[in-house]
Chains A and B, each alone.
Chain A
Amino acid sequence: AQSVTQLDSQVPVFEEAPVELRCNYSSSVSVYLFWYVQYPNQGLQLLLKYLSGSTLVKGINGFEAEFNKSQTSFHLRKPSVHISDTAEYFCAVILYNTDKLIFGTGTRLQVFP
């Protein structure tokens, strides 16, 4: 069965420091990969997605992620975080030829001044 694992439930970091949020997936078929962000009391907003092509994808707000097929990973990175990046981040996959998003459990990024 397919699944998405986010290894860290919480990541505390100081402002202007780099951050990496980890995501691994398990699937026997090809997948499309996504990162969503959820700010407090809001819905989910797409940060970036990998469909095909270059394995390094850039998203909004200075985030980027790299698809690693051999390690079945799609880690999210930002070289310098801001206080405003404090939010919950969800990794998700869609199996090829389906419409269902499968979410990880989320990582809460807390940025301190």
Chain B
Amino acid sequence: DAGVIQSPRHEVTEMGQEVTLRCKPISGHDYLFWYRQTMMRGLELLIYFNNNVPIDDSGMPEDRFSAKMPNASFSTLKIQPSEPRDSAVYFCATKRAGGLEQFFGPGTRLTVL
């Protein structure tokens, strides 16, 4: 079985540009989580979905960040406009309904110049 798939693995962009990160969950997993990892703040939950519906977006830092899950096989995290302080590794994780273990993707390393 394929694990959680994230693309791109690396993204370098300039301040002010729009950035879109993508995640394909494990088939059959109903929950999808977006995390951000930085040296200063560690691992932070940004938002999570259940059955494609956003459940908790209290971790989304500001309006520049948005996330969608148009179907069970795909989610995006968008930053518009991007800023240097958004530089981080962004992880997607998924889990089954009723399960506790979250399965993490390899992450997208974002660098905003």
Contact = CB atoms under 8 A, between A and B. Distances in A.
Chain B contact patch, size range: 20 to 34
A28 interface: no
B91 A99 contact: no
A43 B100 contact: no
B37 to A, nearest CB: 9
Nearest to A102: B45
Nearest to B44: A103
Q: Is the interface of B mostly helix, strand, loop or mixed?
A: strand
Contact of A43 (B33, B42, B50, B106): B106
B104 interface: yes
A44 interface: yes
B43 interface: yes
Interface in B15-38: 31, 33
B102 A101 contact: yes
Given A99-B48, A99-B55, A100-B48, A45 B104 contact: yes
Interface of B: 4, 31, 33, 42-43, 45, 48, 50, 55-56, 91, 93, 95, 100-107
